Amino acid sequence: MIILKRALVTGASSGIGEVFSYELAKRGYETIIVARRLERLQTISDQIERDLGVRSIPLKGDLTNENDLVEVSKLLKDVDLLINNAGFGLIGPFEDIEADREMQMIKLNIGALYFLTKKYALIRNSIGGGIINVASTAAYLPVPGMAVYAATKAFVLSLSEAVSEELQPKGFKVMVLSPGPTRTEFFDVASGGRRQLPGSMSPEEVVKRALDAFEKGKRSVVSGLINKIIASGSRLVPRAVALKAARRAFED
């Protein structure tokens, strides 16, 4: 197979990022896959190369660490598609979650995504390229019980839509993906494995639809019909009503 394109996927050692890595390889992308758990990345890369015959390079990196972030950003020049997917959530009452953990989440969900998006736009200024930033349906309304997570994703949604408009004339395609509940390790990390929300989608469905939408030039995609209705509905109903409904979804 002739490789014409290269993608860098953050948070590729599990869940949505892992599936992005496979699906991109199927679509002819060589991939650089980044996360902290190198062993898992190595297994995924080996499997991609064995099953699909496409090169995949595992790269260990903690994107909350400034040095690692800079090292990853140095690879962006030759990357045709950057997928800022690494992220995590924290579920619980605002006053109970430790500030240090929330600061780490802000660093990853906002800081790393912002930094790589910025560097990519600068480094590829005269070339253009593609970016998919992963937000969440939680970006569409404040979520009591997940207040800081939802706020980080509101940042991702807002930044990505604005930058998409700005960079389009320079040959960049920027899309923001907002999945609803998806069957990954997300809820184990967010709440110690206590819950999986009903009606969740598989990461395969989320990724396939996302890449199809990206190829069609969409700017913003919410995964699945029910999630689309929730996301657009949350902007129509009074804020107080939406807040109460969101709170009920996260109560034990």
Ligand X SMILES: NC(=O)c1ccc[n+]([C@@H]2O[C@H](COP(=O)([O-])OP(=O)(O)OC[C@H]3O[C@@H](n4cnc5c(N)ncnc54)[C@H](OP(=O)(O)O)[C@@H]3O)[C@@H](O)[C@H]2O)c1
Minimal distance in Å, beta carbon 252 to ligand X? 18
Q: How many CB atoms lie within 10 A of CB 70?
A: 11
Rounded CA Rg of the chain: 17
The token pair at 40 is: 């898992």
- Which residues are 84's β-sheet partners? 133
Residue 179 as a binder of ligand X (CB under 6 A): the answer is yes
- Report the alpha-carbon distance of residue 13 to residue 40 in Å, rounded: 6
The token pair at 84 is: 């800022």
Helix (H) or strand (E) holding 1: none
Residue 13 as a binder of ligand X (CB under 6 A): the answer is yes
Q: Rule CB under 6 A: choose which of 21, 31, 45, 64 binds ligand X.
A: 64
Minimal distance in Å, beta carbon 234 to ligand X? 14
Residue 134 as a binder of ligand X (CB under 6 A): the answer is yes
200 phi, psi to nearest 5 deg? -75, 155
Question: Which range touches ligand X (CB under 6 A), out of 24-32, 47-55, 164-172, 183-191?
Answer: 183-191
Cβ closer to ligand X: 75 or 128? 75
Nearest to 148 by CA among 138, 157, 158, 133: 138
Minimal distance in Å, beta carbon 67 to ligand X? 12
Minimal distance in Å, beta carbon 2 to ligand X? 29
Residue 85 as a binder of ligand X (CB under 6 A): the answer is yes
Residue 186 as a binder of ligand X (CB under 6 A): the answer is yes
Question: Which range touches ligand X (CB under 6 A), out of 24-32, 165-173, 184-192, 214-222?
Answer: 184-192
Cβ density class 40-62: b for 16+ within 10 Å, e for less: bbeebbeebeeeeebbbebbebb
Binding site for ligand X (CB under 6 A): 10-17, 35-37, 61-64, 85-89, 108, 134, 136, 179, 181-182, 184-186, 189
